[in-house]
Structures are given as C-alpha cells and as structure tokens.
Structure 1
Amino acid sequence: MEYDRRTILKQLAGTTAVGALAGCVGVSETDSTQTPDESGESGDEGGDETTAQEQTEAAGPSGTFTLWHQRAEAEKKALESSAEAFTEQTDHTAEPAEIADLRQKTTSAIPAGQGAGMFDWAHDWTGEYYQNGFLSDQSGNLDVDLSVYTQPAQAAVQFDDATLALPYAAETVGLIYNEELVDEAPETIADMKAIMEEHHDPENGKYGLSYPLNAYFMSAWAHAFGGYYFDESNVELGLSNDATLEGFQFILDNFVPYQPKDTGYDPQAAVFLEGNAPFAINGPWFLGDVKSNGIDAGVTRLPSPEGEAEPKPYTTVKQLYFTNTLDDDEAKAAAARAFAEWYTTNTDVLSANAEDFGYIPVYEELASEGDLPPAVQGFSESVALGTPIPSHPKMGDVWGPLEDAFNSVKNGDAEIAPAFEKAEQDIRSNWE
C-alpha cells in the first residue's frame, strides 16, 4: 500500500491559497519573493556573517545543478528567486525545476542515471531512498555543522550515520482555536475539555473538536505516555505496548466524544471551517483554508494531559536531498552543497519562509529566539515536543494496519489490545 506523506497529512496542494496562509501567519512587508540582498548579508544583526560567495570559495569548483521540487505556485516563485540570488552571488548556478509527480520522477530517473543533483521533499523518504542507492552521503564534504539545526532536524537528514540532505523547515500538528469562541488557549486537556463541553451540541451541528483521526494526527497521544509505533533503531513495533494502548485509549476517551462521527479529514476540517467547533487539531497547511473562511484563529502547542505525560506528535522535516548524481561530478556536488548550506542557514530566506508560508524554522538561531509569527510559534512549540517520523523503509507498512485497528475499536467491532496485536501481525506479514 503506497502511503506517502501527502496522504498522511492530507495536504490540499493547489487548493489552499498560499497568500491566505501568509495573511494568517502575518505577512512581511515584502512580497513572497523576498530574498537576501545581493551582498548575501542579512538585513538585521541576526543575519549570517558568511556570504554565499565566501561559501562558494570554500566549497570548491563552480558548477551547475538542478533542484527538483513539487511546490505550490507562490512557494515555487520564492524558491526561484532564492536560486537567482544565489546564482548572482556565486560562481555556481542553481536551476529549480518543478516536477508534477516527484515520487514517480525520482524513482524512475535516479536509477537510470538521469536524476537532478538535489530534490526538495520531506524526510520520510530518506531511509528507503538511501537503501535503494538513490542518495549521496555528503557527511565529510559539508562546511556547515549539523549542530546549527534543531535536534529533530539533525536526526531527520541522517540514516545509518550518512548525511543525505540538509533541513530547512518542519511541520506537525498543533491546537488551532477559533478566537471568537475561545478567550484563552488551554494549557491542559482538562481546560480544553471544559471548553469543548460548552460548545458541543451535535443535534444542532455544533461540536467540541475538529480532529482527523489518521495515524499521523494521532501520534501525539500514542507517544505521550511512553509508547511508540515503530522503533527504527531496533526495527520493532510498539502498537500493542501498554503505553501505546494508553495513548489510543486517551483519544477514545477525551476527543472522540466531542467530534463528528466521520473522523476523516474533510468532514472534520469542515466543522471548524464553518465556525461550528472551537478547536481543531491540524497543521500549518490548514491555515490558508481557515483564513479564507474568515475565521480569526490562534495556534498553540497541544495541551498536556494530567501528570507528567506530554504530547509528542510526529514531525516531518522539509529538506534538500543530495542524489547519487553528485558522486561523479565534483563541480555539481560543490554547487549543490553550497546552495543547500546557504538556503538552510540564511536567516533572511528562512524568516521570509516563516512569514509568508508558515514554514517552521529548524535553524537553531531562529527556532530558539521566539521571535516568530504567532501561528508559526505555536506550531514550533509542538515541533519541539515531537519526534520525526521514522524514515526506515519498513515504516510505510505501519500506517494502514494501525488505522484499521483503531477504527475497529472506535466503531465497537474489537477490543483494543487484540485489535493492535492483530495489526502488528499484519505488518510483520507484510514485511515478510
């Protein structure tokens, strides 16, 4: 079963106006094509001291590389402007190219020796693509130390001690609240439940919560009490562990009673977008629709259960992958590395991405300073709590059986422990 990131997150590419997202998170005074000035220096005191030209001189011979991506229109234009600025500042040439189906293109062209030097995608392909020989380990060639990125981002770009990409943003789910219905963001689940109780009136189309119950969205609570879906370091499943089951039961007890019966993405999204729920658990990709529906919304981290438990949602890290085409062309490799280092550490570029598109910074200098648009700050706090989706190839077989098991329990067709024991059996059978 093909279960890629866009299925997991239910990203509505092409239907969510990026301009609306910009309005929701706080548009900068410049437009969405904002780039660093041509000197390569930041316009504020927090900018990078190393110019792109200096990075180029340190990186080796000049070269040209292509960067495949599958971005929405405004994000595409911003990437193209950044590539133009980099090319003007250095002896290298960066050539972004939009690909309609990046998964199909990368899996067919790279094995045939026709791949781009880099491609832009989330980290969940890392393990599979590395084991298939599609990627290039640049561990010993980078001029940037991975310690400049947040810890989850450092983990995301590595597999089997190989550094296969550089990270530039993160995404995860947080708590979005309708400011007309909620005076103050709840800090605890008890506070959240009190507000949900106040607004929950299903007979009149009102609900306490909008929350798509797929495996990605539910991960925060499955991890909250010490559980896990899949331990990629030991290639072990944890769905039937007591701590994981406690997390699933927590969802059934505390959230399901306040939701519409159909827990698919679209029905759940609709009740919040129509102003019929005070809360939504969703990600930054949802904010454009929120804004376009005229809802004034705030974003905060997921509330905490009682005791020492903390929600730990799965996070995805957006990154620039190095492909195996760099291994036999040092000039191309030098150009690709220089661009990746520049793009992922340039505070002008990263700040514009946060302002205009809601990208959550993973460059530690920005991620830790707290001076982010309010919506981005809320998601950033959830990212800090979370853990990256395992990039091991076997993770792909976990999603479907997990959701089948949860739904069988939610619908009253199975008991929780046997349902998830069966899910583990089905996953292991798929592995074999």
Structure 2
Amino acid sequence: MTMERRTLLKRLGTAGVAAALAGCVGVQSQGDQTAQSGGESSAEGGTDDASAGTAKAWYRLSDTELPAREAALKQFNEQSEHTIKGADISDMRKKTTSAIPAGQGPETFEWAHDLAGDYLNRGFIVGQGDELSLSLDEFTDAAAEAAQYDGNVVGLPHTAETVALLYNKEYVDEAPETVADMKAVMEEHHDPSNNQYGLGMPFADPYFLSAWAHAFGGYYFDHSKDEPLGVAKSETVEGVQFAVDNFVPYMPNDPTYEPQASAFAEGNAAFAINGPWYLSTLNEKGVDYGIAKLPTPEGGEPRPYTGITLWYFSKKMGEGGASAAAAREFIEWYVTNEDLLRKRAEETGSIPVLTSLAESGDLPENVQGFAEAVQQGYPMPAHPKMNKVWDPVKAALTKGFNGKDVQKAMDAAATEIRGNWE
C-alpha cells in the first residue's frame, strides 16, 4: 500500500467516524460466534479485482463496546477496496493458540502487548516492519517499544491501559491522595448487611493487585534482575499483605471480577479499582463517578502494571497476498485515525498512544485520571516465562483474601512457577 493510499484512508476516517459511530446498531457478544461487519466491500471506488482482499480480525470486548467496533469496521469496509470481517472471541488465548497453528486463525487480533514474546517464539505472530507504510515514531515511546519484541515489529499499538481509582461522587467529594484517607471514607460507607461496601477490586487477579504487590519494591517477575522471580520476596509479600490488611475488610466476600465490579457499578460501593474497559458499564448504569491515580500507601508507591493494546500481525499475514494487505491497511487506518481513537477515549477512558493525540492536551477528563495512573506504573513483562506466573499467583492471592498465610501462599506459588518453567 502506498503512503498516498494510507493518507487518503486516514483522511476519510477522520471525516466520517463520528457519524458512523453515532448511527451504529448494537451487536451483542456471541462468544466465539463471528460478529460479521460489512460483508463484501460496497464502497464507491471499491473493486472486485484480485487486488481486493478479505481478512479476519478477532477481538474481545464488552457488549457495550461492541457497537463502536462494529461501526468502525463498517466504515473501513465502505471506504476501502478490502473487507475486514470481525469476530468477538470469548477466550482469546485459548482460541488463538488452537486456531492459528491449524491455519484457521485471523490475520490480526487485538490484545495487550504481553503476549508478544510467547507468541513470537511459537510462531503465532510475525514481524511486519518492512511491510508497513508508517513509522513507529508516530506513537509514544512506550507504545513503540511494546510493539516490538526481539527486533521484530509484531503489531501496531492504539491504546494504553491500567487500573486507577474510581470514586462514586454521591459518596465521595474528591479522590483521596493516601490510602489512609481512603480507609477513612471506606470505614464510613462500609455496611455489608445493607449491601454497601467501601471498595470493589478484583483481588484474585494479579494484574489488578499489581500496584500493591509492587508498592514496596516487590515484583512478580522481572527478567532483567538477577533473580527474575520475585513472587515470594519479602517486599512482594509485604505489598500483598498490605492489600489484605487495608482493602479486604471493606470488600464483598468474593474476590473474583464480577462481584467486585458489580458492587460499584450498582452504586453500592464508595470506591473501585478497575480499568478503562469498565467505564462503558458505568456509563450504561448511570453512575456519577470520578477517576484519579491510585492513592499512596505509607512508605511506598503504587506501581500498577500497564498494558499497551496492539493489533497483532498473525502468522497468516506472513504468508502475504491480498488478505495480508487487507489486514495491514485496516490496522494502519485504525491506529492513525484520530477521531476514532478520541471517540474511544471518551467512551471507555482508554489512553491514545498516537503522539498527535497523546500530547495534544485535548483528551477527556476521565482519560486524565487513567493517564496519571499509567505514569505510576510500568509495562507488563512480555517475556514468555511470565505466562507461567499468572495462575499460581492468582491462587496465592485467593488464599490471602480468604485469610490464609500470605508468605506461605506466595512461597507455594513460587515453587509451582519454577516447576512449570522446568
């Protein structure tokens, strides 16, 4: 694709995305069922010759996010000679690891950058740096770095995400700056007998708890360190124990995502710790909320994991041809479409990484809270060994939430991880 063609698509997208998003029809998530979007290209100037390609794009979105994605795909299909067929996938890791090796996967799929090392090593994704019509200089430094692994450009970035503090303005006038201040508010509003809680936070998920596990110098995994596995280190255990002592007493008694997220979304909690994907649910429920960076614990600093969302270049793109060209053109159009990315920021709070937007000073108020939280954190490891860390730590955090000895739980997790690595 020539630079002129990419520039034309970008200009068309900027002019038309607002109308397309406003006029879209909601599409319910169908798990692994394909959510078709557009069929054959019908754009004026589109072609039916051999240069037109059809490609599959997989993603995982909430029901409230799907209409905007369907509208974006429809818009691209109407203005391009190519066709992109979208599908919402309920278990992206499972589906990609089974479908891609069998030649049944998509040309591109959307996920956080932490899959890069494992999927590149297994041949599920490929480098496409030499095929691109744009430069990674168009993105923030962190995003450009996340799009690369072992010298390969494995995808293109479009948003950054992390968890931040959300507060219900009905109960809380302004965001607390310290955990001590936050505890005073939680204490005032926590009344589980009347289905009222101080906080909703998915405690059993290592990603959500990372800010506190890392708050006192601890870490789950860091390949750059002499001891890459930090799960059972005293600093990590201190952080998890801090969360057990200061947050668990004010939370619903189930540490998994849905009960914790529902408490705040239903207006029954003063605070939540969650990510930008959560905002569409809150907007649908009509919650009057604010967003701020995470509060500071005494003697520490919250350091949440951050993720850069990529459109990955799947193995099928390495085979070339019209379908690869279609996927590449769609990805480049999507990640450089300022209006589309701004609209997503307004609706979901996700942080654009296209430099022209990220440094514009013209982002929605809610995005600023997440942007400050991103500055507190650091990117998730993309090294393949990290894949063996998540589940044992999840089990350990669940034990800690349920009153078990945190040090013993984290020791057991470390032993399991080392065994899995071997």
Q: Deviations over 1:264-311 (max 9, x none)?
A: 32332343234332111112233333334442111112122235x332
Instruction: State the percentage of identical aligned residues.
Output: 49
Match of 1:280 in 2: 272
Which of 301, 318, 331 matches 1:310? 301
Match of 2:27 in 1: none
Q: Does 1:236 align with 2:225?
A: no
Report 1:177-196 matches (<5 A).
177-196=167-186
Which of 69, 74, 91 matches 2:58? 69
- Segments of structure 2 that go 5 or more residues without pairing to the other structure are 1-16, 25-49
Alpha-carbon distance in structure 2 between the residues aligned to 1:190 and 1:75: 35
Match of 1:4 in 2: none
- Segments of structure 1 that go 5 or more residues without pairing to the other structure are 1-27, 36-60
Question: Quick one: which amino acid aligns to residue 150 of structure 1?
Answer: T
Match of 1:348 in 2: 339
2:84–2:326: 8 Å Cα contact kept in structure 1?
no
1:154 is paired with a residue whose SS is helix
1:369 is paired with a residue whose SS is coil
Q: 1:80 to 1:93 in 2, by over 3 A?
A: farther
Deviation, 1:179, is 0.4
Alpha-carbon distance in structure 2 between the residues aligned to 1:413 and 1:114: 44
Which of 142, 159, 165 matches 2:155? 165
1:418 is paired with a residue whose SS is helix
Q: Deviations over 1:307-349 (max 9, x none)?
A: 5x33221223322111222333255544433332231122112
Alpha-carbon distance in structure 2 between the residues aligned to 1:94 and 1:250: 51
Match of 2:366 in 1: 375
RMSD: 3.0
Q: Does 1:266 align with 2:255?
A: no
Match of 1:16 in 2: none
Report 1:91-106 matches (<5 A).
92-98=81-87, 100=89, 102-106=92-96
Question: Quick one: which amino acid aligns to residue 352 of structure 1?
Answer: K
Q: Deviations over 1:203-257 (max 9, x none)?
A: 5443322222021110011122222111245682111223212211221232123
| Structure 1 stretch displaced more, 225-234 or 164-173 | 225-234
Question: Quick one: which amino acid aligns to residue 353 of structure 2?
Answer: V
Alpha-carbon distance in structure 2 between the residues aligned to 1:271 and 1:110: 38
Q: Does 1:321 align with 2:312?
A: yes
Match of 2:288 in 1: 296
Question: Quick one: which amino acid aligns to residue 383 of structure 2?
Answer: H
Match of 2:11 in 1: none
1:84–1:94: 8 Å Cα contact kept in structure 2?
no
Report 1:35-46 matches (<5 A).
none
Alpha-carbon distance in structure 1 between the residues aligned to 2:350 and 2:302: 21
Question: Quick one: which amino acid aligns to residue 171 of structure 2?
Answer: L
1:117–1:325: 8 Å Cα contact kept in structure 2?
yes
Alpha-carbon distance in structure 2 between the residues aligned to 1:86 and 1:274: 36
Match of 1:120 in 2: 110
Question: Structure with the greater relative contact order (CA < 8 A, sep ≥ 6): 1 or 2?
Answer: 1
Deviation, 1:407, is 3.4
2:280–2:348: 8 Å Cα contact kept in structure 1?
no
Alpha-carbon distance in structure 2 between the residues aligned to 1:409 and 1:356: 35
Q: Deviations over 1:343-364 (max 9, x none)?
A: 1122112112222343321223
1:325 is paired with a residue whose SS is helix
Q: 1:115 to 1:180 in 2, by over 3 A?
A: closer
1:32–1:356: 8 Å Cα contact kept in structure 2?
no
Alpha-carbon distance in structure 2 between the residues aligned to 1:327 and 1:282: 36
1:419 is paired with a residue whose SS is helix
1:176 is paired with a residue whose SS is strand
Q: 1:29 to 1:69 in 2, by over 3 A?
A: closer
